[in-house]
């Protein structure tokens, strides 16, 4: 199942880069959750309405928001760990920005159930029971 899960995560990331909401939703469970580093401000994005809100928030914030996968790693049968570089240009400021994240994808029956995004690699690794 790990190869299929890796392929699902690749499709989810490609859907973000293509701004393809429907392809993204096709990879997710009905009770999907997205926990971003801005969860204290934006809250958790939940279900199809949350996915649509996430894509709208991306459009509002950044002209060219892109995810660049550094590495994907299957962790057990139902998790994928992704090391990702994020780049964007602020819509209001016009300034380029970038950061690295460690994303944890929890899958159920080949679909993404939850994504947790960490700006601290150590925290992402700990979330799946690994160490640097």
Structure-block tokens of residue 98: 């970038």
| Number of domains composing the chain | 1
Mean pLDDT for 111-128 is: 96
Q: End-to-end alpha-carbon separation of the chain, Å?
A: 25
Q: What is the pTM of this model?
A: 0.94
Instruction: Answer whether residue 132 is part of any domain.
Output: no
Give burial (CB, 10 Å; 0-12/13-18/19+) of 48: middle
Instruction: Answer whether residue 77 is part of any domain.
Output: yes
Do β-strands 66-75 and 111-118 pair in parallel, antiparallel, or remain unpaired? unpaired
Instruction: Answer whether residue 12 is part of any domain.
Output: yes
Distances (CA, A) of 62 to 46, 49, 57, 109, 123: 21, 20, 9, 33, 26
Show the domain range for 28: 2-127
CATH of the domain at 107: 3.10.450.50
Q: What are the pLDDT digits (tens) for 26-41?
A: 999 999 999 999 877 7
Bridge partners for 72 per DSSP? 82
* Confidence at residue 1, expressed as pLDDT on a 0 to 100 scale: 62
Q: What are the pLDDT digits (tens) for 82-101?
A: 999 999 988 888 888 899 99
């Amino acid at each position: 199942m790990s190869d299929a899960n890796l392929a699902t995560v690749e499709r989810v990331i490609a859907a973000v880069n293509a701004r393809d909401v429907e392809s993204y939703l096709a990879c997710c469970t009905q009770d999907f959750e997205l926990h971003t580093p801005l969860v204290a401000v934006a809250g958790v994005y939940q279900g199809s309405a949350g996915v649509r809100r996430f894509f709208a928030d991306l459009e509002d914030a950044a002209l060219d928001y892109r995810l660049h996968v550094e590495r994907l790693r299957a962790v057990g049968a139902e998790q994928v760990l992704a090391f990702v570089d994020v780049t964007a240009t602020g819509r209001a400021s016009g300034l380029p920005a970038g950061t690295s994240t460690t994303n944890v994808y929890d899958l159920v029956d080949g679909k993404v159930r939850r994504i947790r995004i960490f700006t601290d690699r150590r925290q992402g690794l700990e979330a799946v029971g690994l160490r640097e």
